Amino acid sequence: MILSDADILDRLEAGDLVVEPLDEPDLQIQPASIDLRLGREFLEFQHANIPCIHPTSEQEVAEYVEETVVDDDGEFILHPGDFVLGTTVETVEIPDDLIAHVEGRSSLGRLAVVVHATAGLADPGYRGQITLELSNLGTAPVALTPGMRISQLTFTELSSPAERPYGEERGSKYQGQEGPQASRIQGDREFGGDQ
């Protein structure tokens, strides 16, 4: 079952679902979602003179991205073909009986801006800001302003609470993240990590 605006408000008031700061609930809470705003920090992927990036090499991934922080009254220009990591202003806490889906807003989709490539879920138990995988699929640059509503979360109720929710107990590598986070795939068990 997908939560309606009334369900979302009830869960927020009960405190088991957290979205903070929720500065304009009348604007941000939609009929079946919550709009999230764009933060000021971005990780830009640099053109590198290397044959490929090895996802298991933390050093290579770190060398490939550069952090940009935009002033509150500034803008970030997303050029055609660009892929950058952004973040939401809001921090979320998802209870063990919900899963959140990260979706784009149709108004930005109509400008060819997408907000995620594959990371469209916030698992039960997740706590932190949402990293956005921003791409411009169009032919013209698009100006993104910190604080603008950039994405939305929808919430689906699970048939029962997760027995092993996302979090420290599982060694979840993005739990509690602040700002955009580069890939931590090198921590996966199949690459010699423990996760």
Angle value at C-alpha 44, between 191 and 146, nearest 5 degrees: 125
Q: Which residues are annotated as a binding site?
A: 105-110, 123, 131-133, 152, 166, 173, 177
Q: Going by DSSP bridges, is the β-strand pair 83-93/33-37 parallel, antiparallel, or unpaired? A: unpaired
Q: What is the mean pLDDT of residues 91-114?
A: 95
Stronger pLDDT, 181 or 76, i.e. the higher one: 76
- Tokens 């997740």 appear where? 126
Residue extents of the structural domains in the chain: 5-47+67-159
Question: pTM of the prediction?
Answer: 0.89
Digit-coded pLDDT (tens) for 130-173 = 999 999 999 999 999 999 999 999 999 999 999 999 887 777 87
Q: Which residues are annotated as a binding site for dCTP?
A: 105-110, 123, 131-133, 152, 166, 173, 177
Among 39, 42, 71, 41, CA closest to 147: 39
| Residues with catalytic function | 133
pLDDT at 3 over 90: yes
pLDDT at 132: 96
Using CB atoms within 10 Å of the CB of residue 52, give its burial: 0 to 12 exposed, 13 to 18 middle, 19+ buried: exposed
Digit-coded pLDDT (tens) for 15-39 = 999 999 999 999 999 999 999 999 9
Task: Name the CATH superfamily housing domain 5-47+67-159.
Answer: Deoxyuridine triphosphatase (dUTPase) (2.70.40.10)
Q: How far from 33 is each of 45, 76, 80, 87, 126, CA to CA, in Å?
A: 30, 25, 28, 18, 17
- Tokens 């590598």 appear where? 173
Among 157, 187, 160, 150, CA closest to 172: 187
